[in-house]
Amino acid sequence: MEALRYKEIDYVIRRPENETEGKKYPLVIYLHGAGGRGRDISLIKNHSFFAHSAPFLKEAFSTGPQCYADSWFDIFEQLQDFIEFVISDQAVDRERVYLTGASMGGYATWQMGMTRPELFAAIVPICGGGMYWNSGRLVNTAVWAFHGDSDPTVFPEESKKFINNIVAWGGKKARLTIFENTGHNAWDPTFANPEMWKWLLEQRNSYVETENKFDDVKKYG
């Protein structure tokens, strides 16, 4: 796993095992919660997302950018730019780009999915919330949301509103799992769930290839 910097955003990336030239691989992007903010990239390197996902993403890219501001929404345009940059890697399968995030990252996952639905084959928002009334933009995106039933920080009703609204708009690929006797940390049981990873990697998206115009990545850490 490498620590790098793209413009102002530090990030870590884990490449596929035994990566083969000319072969394309899925990409999973993880957006962390409030506890990962800042410039200490070890907070992202050591996040349980990477530990839990390792057995399931041996043949995939996985990456986690770090929010250096107060929230992802403060640097939302930069986050979009970063996502376009990581997707531009010639080894990334554009039909298999996935976005997930927890808590603050769950909010950003919902919003990014609605803002750029054409980019993602599927999104997995965890204990997030936001502008659920706009979730009709996700009717053609595969969505599996997760939440703890006893979350005191972000109430599970937030996820329920999103999924119910997508279904009301005619979405047929939206689902929700509520963990019983679980507080805010719904991410560990989500990322340790083999069924979730199997489902995620089965999703496909038609994505139009664009020219790779990103060339200012720097090594970091």
φ, ψ (nearest 5 deg) of residue 194 = -60, -35
pLDDT of residue 206: 55
Q: What is the mean pLDDT of the segment spanning 9-31?
A: 97
Alpha-carbon gap, residue 168 to 112, rounded angstroms: 20
pLDDT (tens digit, 9 = 90+) per residue, 80-94? 999 999 999 999 999
pLDDT-derived band at 221, boundaries 50, 70, 90: very low
The string of DSSP letters for 80-113 reads HHHHHHHHTSTTEEEEEEEEEEETHHHHHHHHHH
Q: What is the mean pLDDT of the segment spanning 44-52?
A: 96
Q: How many CA atoms lie within 13 A of 72 on its CB side?
A: 29
Q: What is the mean pLDDT of the segment spanning 55-76?
A: 98
Please give the model's pTM, rounded to 2 decimal places: 0.92
pLDDT-derived band at 210, boundaries 50, 70, 90: very low
Q: What is the mean pLDDT of the segment spanning 178-192?
A: 97
